[in-house]
Structure 1
Amino acid sequence: MTAPGRRSSTFTRLLRHGFTDPSAAERLLDSPELAGVRDDPVLLEALGVTADPDLALHGLVRMLEAQPGPAARRELLDTLIAAKPLRDRLLGVLGASAALADHLARHPRDWEELVTYEPRDLHPGVEEFERGLAQATDPVSLRVAYRRCLLSIAARDVCGTIDLADTAAELADLATATLRAALRIASAAAPDDAAACRLAVIAMGKCGGHELNYVSDVDVIFVGEAADALADEGKALRSATRLASHMMRICSETTVEGSIWPVDANLRPEGRNGPLVRTLASHLAYYQRWAKTWEFQALLKARPVAGDLALGEAYVDALEPLVWQVAERENFVADVQKMRRRVVENIPAAEVDRELKLGPGGLRDVEFAVQLLQLVHGRADASLRSGTTLHALHALAAGGYVGRADAVQLDEAYRFLRSMEHRIQLHRLRRTHLVPEAEADLRRLGRSLGLRTDPVAELLREWKRHSSVVRRLHEKLFYRPLLDAVAQLAPGETRLSPEAARERLVALGYADPAAALRHLEALASGVTRKAAIQRTLLPVLLGWFADSAEPDAGLLNFRNVSDALGKTPWYLRLLRDEGAAAENLARVLSAGRLAPDLLMRAPEAVALLGDGDGGGLEPRSRAHLEQETLAAVGRAENAEDGVRAARGVRRRELFRTCAADIVGSYGTETQPAEADQGALVDRVGGAVSDLTAATLAGTLRAVVREGWGEQLPTRFAVIGMGRFGGHELGYGSDADVLFVHEPREGVGEREAADAANKVVSEMRRLLQIPSADPPLLIDADLRPEGKSGPLVRTLKSYDAYYRRWSLVWESQALLRAEQVAGDPELGRRFLDLVDPLRYPAEGLGDEAVREIRRLKARMESERLPRGADPKLHTKLGPGGLSDVEWTVQLLQLRHGWAEPGLRTTRTREALAAARAAELLGGEDAAILDEAWILATRVRNAVMLVRGRAGDTFPSDPRELAAVGRYLGYSPGHAGDMLDDYRRTTRRARAVVEELFYGAAGER
């Protein structure tokens, strides 16, 4: 007898073994049914490893009470203590399932079923389950027999002797046997109906996929035919309908032994509104004409399970070709994606966070992603045609359609979430996929999954972790842009024989199909995983290359990049999985020479085309670029290595800018071309100018650090001029600059000048050293006295020169002056110094205006290349860049002193400010803006296409066509492009004539 206030040793042991109500457990152990074993440590230890020891002990006492007599009770207890397999299975079931404990209390001898199998035994199949149900002759006996079979599955499941996939397969096999038994009972009750028809039961959903839950609707479709070909078909279908209806009621209706599960036939053609049973011909006609996309997705899991299996096989054989054609439907991928979103949107808000099956990161995310990939790629790859989610996932990984690491994570997450679902349903044998909220339920659920230290916290943590993985990979796979492109390929194009490939290459416009075929064979031949992924990518890439003017070059460039990156694990994975990387790469590789040349110098820059870490085509800010460049220089051992590192950053960022420009100009299947051409021009000019400034800043740092340490003996600044200062550099532009310095206190002028000149000399030399990186040419010809003047001047020297000798063209050039590198305070003082020159008080005098006009006329006549068509020269031709810029700059020189908006280095900003100040009309401003944008776009296009700068349209037809594609002209319309250019510049020239040369120019 335990003293009041003290705990018994049994109470303490019960707590240690996981009982949550030790007092109630002590009372149960004291019950007469457990006499003789209550102190046996074997029993207590076995109860302690169950999911819910309290529930297990309570269920055991109920079973013992229900035994028919003392001898039966003794037999159970003796076997329980002596036989570990029975002990683990029986107590495991009692601790996990109150519903099966109820069954064992009603049928106390069914525990003997758990002695039959040894651990790791062979898995029972449909035939063995059929034998277990053979004696059932009515709905009640069928339920008892079903629960008896279910008991054996659950026992081995909770003990871990079968895994999740085998459990789900056995549950599907048991459902198959049950459907057959129910049809047998229904046929016995209506022998005339059974004799009049052939009836096939097609399992759908999880039963059809061999991955059933403990409690789930069993989805079916019925196919019926007359037993005799000469019999009345209508009468036979009525007989089949009665049999099918009776079979469904046998499984679904509630009796004294409960129900089995609902049989749901709503996946049939027309759903609830359609006939329950159709002939095979009627099914086929419906799917050929009326079926929606989701109905074909459902057919992925169709499997004949009961009735006339030959008729069922004929049904599957007839419909299978239609399943693998559904991906060719217009908007197929978008329809499947929309259906998944609709499922999520329909979840009640109060349940969405607990929804294990339908919610974000739930089981449906895995299943929808796998099924979409199957339907898209399974047309050409029969290995993907499985109705079982995990089998299909493994096939997708083996075929290279899903990354191996992604497949492993999805497999683990799916198994964990399905195991959670199984354990939740097993407790009460009720259909649910909501995670419980009560702590006791969560504790039992966690312990049933082997989480014992802190079951609730561990369960919630693992659930959220796996759910997050599922959601991330679902977004990655389910919304993969490549899917839509593959789905749009014509039948047979997803896997090409050599002859079919040659025919397709010709049809797509490849000029040398034999060479293209050799590239394809080199990329995709063999049995390696790399070749498998290439075989998935190439049919789509061929079409994207063909959208360009140079498909052959695009394919060759792709082979070169693939060869260079062939051993990197991330390259093909990036193209297959990440965003629009594959299409972006196809556009970039087939748009000309510049971008592929930059890429081949550093193929790892392919990563920029994705949208993951390190990817993205948005230009980096000047501050970001300068910070990265200075950091790269700081890691180098000497100036040459530092500048090499700075040029490497420049090369990569030039590629990013080119790629963004190409993708924005061409558009992709998921992103239309940029409609605002001005935005494209501004983005390129700004990005290249910022990059040039960062490169100069890094080069300056490298030179100063090597020659003088941390500080130069003179302050030093770089002033951007021309297009550089105006944030309008093109891909091939030189960097127009001025250099200014100012001796530090205590430093002599000669020492300061020598240091400044040495800096400039070293900067120019290092930036032009031959290497894999494109050179950056520094042009200082806009300095005072031009090429005859010193490269570097002090601020005082600039002041003296500009006050005494400055010419009007120098005032005009200084309109573009902006500090870009070096000492910012010195740069600001230089700009303060030149502001009175570029924005002269009261504007320009008449003589100065006439001088500017004479300079412009002389430049046009002297600089225009001999033989060039002036009307197609983007810089010096009528209505071209020079016309627009000189017109805008004349307005700035004349009115900048009075209009603050005109005090900008950027042409388009100044033009907009002039319009706002009513210095020209809105229509004239729009005409000039359009011409300037178009001319700039043409120059950028020429550089992208030819790989070298040019101010005129290419004469080579292919290059001209490529420029046209960049500008948005379809193949065969290069002539329209030239006509449009002439028309646009002609209108601009008319405005220039009026504003720059005419009466309006006198304002």
Structure 2
Amino acid sequence: MDRFRNLDPATEAHWQTWLDWAAAQGVEVPDAPAFADARARVWEASDYVAVSLARHPEVLADLIARGELEQAHDAASLARGFEAALAPVTDEPGLHRALRLFRRREMIRIIWRDIAGWAELAETLEHLTALADLCIQGALDRLHAWTCAELGTPRDASGRALRMAVLGMGKLGARELNLSSDIDLIFAFAANGETEGGPRTLDNAQFFTKLGQRLAQALGSQTVDGFVFRVDTRLRPFGESGPLAMSFNALEDYYQTQAREWERYAMIKARVVVGDPDDARELMAMLRPFVYRRYLDFGAIESLRDLKRMIAKELYRRGMDANIKLGPGGIREIEFIGQAFQLIRGGHDADLQIRPIREVLALLAHKQLMPEPAVRGLDDAYCFLRLVENRIQAYRDKQTHLLPADAPGRARLARSMGFADWPAFEAVLEAHRRHVQGQFDEVFAAPETEEVLHDPGLIALWHGEGDAADEVSALAEAGFAEPEAIQARLVQFRDSIARKGLSRRGHERLERLVPMVLRETASSEQPDIALGRVLKVLEAVARRTSYLAMLSEHPVILAQLARLASMSPWFTDRIARHPLLLDEMIDTRRLYAPLRRADLEAELDALLLHVDADDLEQQMERLRQFAQGNMLRVAAADLTEVIPLMVVSDYLTEIAEVSIRRVLRLAFDHLAQRHGRPTEIIGEESGFLVLGYGKLGGIELGYGSDLDLVFIHGTESQTAMTDGPKEISNEQFFARLGQRIIHLMTTQTPSGVLYEIDMRLRPDGNRGLLVRSFAAFDAYQANDAWTWEHQALIRARPVAGDPQLAARFGTLRRAIICREREPEQLRKDVREMRAKMRANLDKSGGGRFDLKQGAGGIADIEFMVQYAVLRWASEHPALADWTDNIRLLETLGRLDLLPGRAAEDLTATYKALRAAYHRSALQEQPKTVADADLLPERERVQSLWHALMDEPAS
């Protein structure tokens, strides 16, 4: 027992008081060493428990008798005990007393288990939160009934009786309540209206204000029995000057138009503690867009940095550096770190929309947003500091976060934490605080732009305050080739920004950012071009100042933007239209590492995971963000030659296929929910097949390619119906499915369209049905299709849908392609179709050559390949194995079906022409080259065309 010798002898007198009472009452004192050890620990660490049990000895006797010190309460047993304690209550004074007695008993139990080391920190915080929840709910239930009896029942316009919703904020909301926390509450009600059945009519605001006042008094007022929880309602809209209870509409209006940035931070942990479940869902759904912006919100970093600076200034003014919550390396800094990532990324990644800080920290490590060792250190520090906080507050049940300054208090705290003395405890404490401080400084450090910010030349260029000649000279010295033109562009940019009416914060962010832009673009490969393109992005995002914050907070994003802008306008044009794409530039490892199919599927799963199944608009937005972001990564890796040109189309095709498959699933599930599933179909899944033709079918998609699609369904009976309560014919179901797929992909949303769709290759073209049955498609291909449609079939393949139907299509395709044909008629048909295309589509002229349609271009190679496949596939079925031109040429060469080195020459030329086509797309230029470019290759194609396709001499 020497280790737990009480430093204050008076404390032991409280134990003797209890022992005397126990002896008089015949209560046995447990003689187990564990009990004696725990009792000594508790009496030394908590004067509150020692004094409370000396005054109310029956509490400990009851806890011992019931075995509740050794056993953790579950939620059900705690609720039963609470209801039993409140069962005799019939009036408000009785409610106040019952709540306080129950709270005292539970606090003694919780503190005992905590200090004795019989409860983990998580249990202590959860039990304290559960206690608060029960007290709020139990008090409100009774107060609501009494208030209705006195004033009438509040109802909305439809006559529905309303209940008050109580938002728990801070640690209560996150279920992290500590031993002497106050509880931050916001009171709300669903709708305006009036009371009914009372002595006089009151509006709902008056009723719920009165109810809120009574609840706050029931919990927070000090009586002879103490208090339940100190109640703080100052986090409500307008603070202390605002109404105590507000309608949902009033709350929504406030948070949309008047709320301050720190209120977003406060609202992260908000939880409806009590209220109608439907009302609770509505309230949280209303608040979510205020807290979590759908874009990456780096403006939150600035706001939290400012908030921390204000706290630090207040602490310094009040001499409270020993504050383990608000001081350097304290609990608040850990919470700020986690919540900064939540505010920045939570709208984009719904996984982060959670309340408990330890769960947030774990996600930061899992998602590689912070290094795992750093997060582990933060979690260890959080647990240690929260335990210290509980030990400090357990002593007198006071809400304090200050380390003791006196020697006895320090010794007592150290021993309660398991340390022999203060120096040993302090060493561990300071190590944790140093780690927290270091991580906090790293996350919240101002961007390293001091060199730029203190460069008077660059600052003057932005403000336009200097002499024009000096500005031109400074731009030339910085590395711009045409400084006069750049100066004029800066003037134009300043004028454009002035017309936008930016906020003060927007101007401050631009003042920091523009000098950085000048420096980054000046050091790029093409400074003049890069600056013009980056300024175009800034003009597009200027009024959404969080993007300005993102660029200034993360110079790496700006560096990548400048680098890629100097290479291609494709990036900046898309980012200007869809600024969300800036998110992709945060992590350079990710930016230059495009994903393959399995990872694409996983990313899309994560993006759609938290989107409501009926939220069509959000589904379309997320699909577009997915496709655009991944295309941007492919382009970045392509331009910087991280991936070879010939796999660019593979990446782009996989993005399209993953998108189509998900659209089909979403569209099918939507219709199946309404009408049931089609019956009597080929296959076991959807009975539907999406065929990709052209570049999609040939795995040769480029940037901005549209998708040639054909829809087939597997209905085997024309009278078949769906199996749902609202049955419709299979034909109707599949027609609507095709329409919905097109709608999901082509509807213009804030993020644009997913893909442009071309359905003209379906049987009978634009005159034909949108969706054909497999049997009708088979009959058409066998009996009615033109030669050019069989050419198109060579590049057709299933990209989404039922596997069995896909297998049937494969058999059909092979049979059509391998059909024996009359060679001369085939050559005549192919040649005539090529001539029609060239006459209508060739844009050669004026010294430029059309890469696709010009003589000797891509289309000539494709038509020769298609002719050769249809000409010889009946003898060589291997020609029906592939849909892409490279492998078809390889097969033709292996089978020696083309003269000499024709297959190799055509392959090399095809790759060169496609490379030029890709580059033109990224430069957003017409798909043409100068007449002199690629001339030998084009002449070889024309020579082979003449040998293979022109009519033989008579």
TM-score (norm 1): 0.44
Rg larger in structure: 1
